[in-house]
Amino acid sequence: MKIYYNEAYLGHNTILTEVDGCETVYVNHGVLNLMFTHDAAFCEQSRWYFENIMRKSALISQVNEKERNRFFNGMFEKIQRAQEQKNKSLNI
């Protein structure tokens, strides 16, 4: 598994998988709904989109320790702020 970091907000939770040569694209629709397709043209377009995004992103799962630390420290700070806001709203 490879993890890439890109500061741009993508605005969707699309997943592209390939199992035994069969590609599937999963698209989150709403909170609890998930649509998927095996359509070759849609899968190819999605693959092109993801490859383009990955070329512009930092691979943080295998190399690039500085970016990886920055990413996880940023996530940790967001979690801390959310906990502080929750505690503040509960008057803890």
46 and 79, same domain (yes or no): no
CB-based contact 3:61 (threshold 8 Å): yes
Q: Please tell me the total count of domains within the chain.
A: 2
| 15: containing domain | 1-59
How much of the chain exceeds pLDDT 90, in percent? 46
pLDDT of amino acid 63: 80
53 and 26, same domain (yes or no): yes
pLDDT of amino acid 19: 94
For tokens 């969707």, the residue is 12
85 and 43, same domain (yes or no): no
Tens of pLDDT, residues 31-76: 788 999 999 999 999 999 999 999 998 888 888 888 888 889 989 9
Cα(25)–Cα(44) distance, integer angstroms: 10
47 and 71, same domain (yes or no): no
pLDDT of amino acid 92: 66
6 and 37, same domain (yes or no): yes
- Taking residues 21-31, what's their average pLDDT? 90
Longest CA pairwise span in the chain (Å): 54
Reduce the DSSP state of residue 72 to 3 states and report it: helix
Cα(78)–Cα(48) distance, integer angstroms: 31
- At position 28, the amino acid (one-letter code) is N
52 and 82, same domain (yes or no): no
